[in-house]
Structure 1
Amino acid sequence: MFDPNNKNQIRIGFIGAGIVGISLALALRKSDYNVRSIFSRRKKSSETFARLISGCHVVESYDEVSAKSDIVFITTSDDSIQAVASKTNWRSKQLVVHCSGASTLDVLEEARIQGAYVGSLHPLQAFASFEDGVLSIPGTTFAIEGKEFARSFLESLALDIGGEVIYLNSEDKVLYHLTGVMMGGMLSTLAASVSDLWRLFGYDREKGVNALSKMIHQVGINLRQLGIPDAVAGPYSRGDIGTIEKHLSGLLDKAPELLPVYCEMALIGLPYAFEKGNLSEEKLQEIRGLVLSFKNKGEFK
């Protein structure tokens, strides 16, 4: 078994050379961890990974990564983790870690049967490139699943690279992960769709993205500094029913495909606007009734 207090001597290997894997490996190397080996089915991806991580070498198989590593991070696609774990020869007291937010430790059962410690370490972050990924890791929340040694070691590792830590049980993983998807990928989709609306008043999508992304950044600041419900803003929190009606009519006329999205977001947001204290119960019900009257119109136009 490796000494968890001597990180320079711990041999770390990766299976999977995607953005998350490279970002994590760069952060580990920056914190003086010894990332020694990488295997990916795509040789070019392995070579890129090794070129970026000093002291790291491309190997030829899952088993070779395992044989040369005290800790192995499986950073493949979620659907491939169990197959990788099942096809690899592990050893007692080795630590095998996957980085999926939705998968439980069941996918590493074969490693556990062979005597390895198992755990998961998921960064709650939107990684579009490894350059941005390694920069965004400090301050990122890492969700950890594991028992005893695995949990303790992964906590130290996450804190070492500047992260914050939460702990999850297996039954919590799906709900946890979908919060990240909704705030990450789905927020990006929302930003893309509303940026496209800028073309309707004479500007291209890129101009819209540039303007709206600054708003997204400020929303994040407001959420951290003010919290919920105080960070909730806009015509709903003000009870500005005239503006809301203009929005609904405008979408029905110009972009009916977005009207159901707008309505659902409005209905979800109304309780927070009420909690903020700016809306009376009467005004809340008036707005809800207006939104509901438009909700299904866009789908059938």
Structure 2
Amino acid sequence: MTLNVIGAGHVGRVLGRLFAGVDGVTVQDVLTRSMASARDAVAFIGAGTPVDSHGALRRADVTMLAVSDDQIGPACAALAAQGQLAGATVFHCSGALASTALQAAVDAGATVASVHPIRSFADPAQVAAGFDGTYCGVEGDAQALAALTPLLLAIGARPVPIDAAAKTVYHAAAVFASNYLVTVLDAALRAYQAAGIPEAVARELARPLAAEAMANVFRLGAAPALSGPIARGDMATVARQQQAVQQWDAPTGALYANLVAPTARLAGRKRQQR
């Protein structure tokens, strides 16, 4: 199986290196924004030939588009324009876009999919060395997934099928689990500091609460893990807290207020599960 890599940032380099180590897979051509970066990518991958244009790409059984989301459509169109996709497989690595973004490849006769590794790629060498067990959200044509799934399993990935129509919601899940969690914790730290507690001490006060809550969610599920005044039905305390937070900092008060209703619904689910 021949594999071309278009876009070789952190994700492309890591997957390229891992795929290059699979028996029967040949990393063929690597195309990035410049020849210099393509050469660097090939050096990291340990295989492949750097090329400087879509026209220089040889036909491949599989092409990976590891470009930014806004470049997936243009890169796919440029690839399709070469007329070498009949019977091939094309996939992208976006967490936010579905495989439908590859319609130009479908029109050119390819099968398509998306493969989204659920990892932070800040340190490519470290991720490549410890990729085993990484979950990957996958969706696309059955034929494309049939070709890609053995490759993913061979590099230690754990493919998880997702609904293409809900791809944006799927990606938002990561934002809730990571980005917005940090925002809520920041509110907690600032509230502690408003009570006169130094920031370093505030982190230590929040640490066991956050760590134990997260551990309980992953061990028991979200509803059973919920504790606090809303879980107890103590809405008088909630009202006092909301007023106090609003008086201290209006934007944080709005955040608190917006979390009351969904937390109350979660508390209702907890009561139903008892």
Q: Which TM-score band (shorter chain)?
A: 0.7 to 0.9
Residue identity opposite 2:217 in structure 1? L
Residue identity opposite 1:73 in structure 2? M
* CA-CA distance at 1:77 after TM superposition: 1.4
Q: Is the 8 A contact 2:29 2:58 kept in 1?
A: no
* CA-CA distance at 1:274 after TM superposition: 2.4
Cα 1:69–1:274 change in 2 (3 A) is same
Q: Is the 8 A contact 1:19 1:133 kept in 2?
A: no
Query: In structure 2, what is the equivalent of residue 12 of structure 1?
Result: 3
* CA-CA distance at 1:249 after TM superposition: 3.6
* CA-CA distance at 1:60 after TM superposition: 1.3
Cα 1:21–1:186 change in 2 (3 A) is farther
Q: Which structure 1 residue ranges, 5 or more long, are not aligned?
A: 1-9, 281-301
Residue identity opposite 1:39 in structure 2? L
2-structure distance, mates of 1:187, 1:262: 13
2-structure distance, mates of 1:227, 1:93: 44
Residue identity opposite 2:9 in structure 1? G
> May I ask how many residue pairs the two structures share in their alignment?
269
Asked if residue 271 in structure 1 is aligned to residue 265 in structure 2, the reply is yes
1-structure distance, mates of 2:50, 2:206: 42
Q: Is the 8 A contact 1:86 1:111 kept in 2?
A: yes
1-structure distance, mates of 2:201, 2:26: 43
Q: For the aligned residues, what is the CA RMSD? A: 3.4
Asked if residue 97 in structure 1 is aligned to residue 91 in structure 2, the reply is yes
Residue identity opposite 2:68 in structure 1? S
2-structure distance, mates of 1:210, 1:27: 39
The Cα offsets for residues 245-273 of structure 1, whole Å up to 9 and x where unpaired, read as: 45324422322211222222221121222
The DSSP-based 3-state class of the residue aligned with 1:92 is coil
Residue identity opposite 1:19 in structure 2? H
* CA-CA distance at 1:190 after TM superposition: 3.6
* CA-CA distance at 1:13 after TM superposition: 2.5
Of 35, 54, 75, which residue of structure 2 is paired with 1:84? Answer: 75
Moved more, 228-237 or 84-93: 228-237
Of 35, 39, 54, which residue of structure 2 is paired with 1:62? Answer: 54
* CA-CA distance at 1:161 after TM superposition: 2.9
* CA-CA distance at 1:223 after TM superposition: 2.4
The DSSP-based 3-state class of the residue aligned with 1:229 is helix
Q: Which structure 2 residue ranges, 5 or more long, are not aligned?
A: none
The Cα offsets for residues 107-146 of structure 1, whole Å up to 9 and x where unpaired, read as: 2222222222221112244544435644674444322222
* CA-CA distance at 1:212 after TM superposition: 5.1
* CA-CA distance at 1:197 after TM superposition: 4.8
Q: Is the 8 A contact 2:59 2:85 kept in 1?
A: no
Q: Is the 8 A contact 1:101 1:122 kept in 2?
A: yes
Moved more, 225-234 or 185-194: 185-194
Query: In structure 2, what is the equivalent of residue 52 of structure 1?
Result: 44
Query: In structure 2, what is the equivalent of residue 110 of structure 1?
Result: 104
Residue identity opposite 2:10 in structure 1? I
Cα 1:123–1:242 change in 2 (3 A) is same
Q: Is the 8 A contact 1:141 1:165 kept in 2?
A: yes
Q: Percent identity of the aligned residues?
A: 24
Moved more, 84-93 or 19-28: 19-28
Cα 1:193–1:28 change in 2 (3 A) is farther
2-structure distance, mates of 1:123, 1:183: 15
Of 232, 242, 247, which residue of structure 2 is paired with 1:238? Answer: 232
* CA-CA distance at 1:229 after TM superposition: 1.7
Cα 1:224–1:116 change in 2 (3 A) is same
Q: Is the 8 A contact 2:4 2:63 kept in 1?
A: yes
Q: Is the 8 A contact 1:237 1:278 kept in 2?
A: no
* CA-CA distance at 1:86 after TM superposition: 0.8
The Cα offsets for residues 227-251 of structure 1, whole Å up to 9 and x where unpaired, read as: 2321223332233446534532442
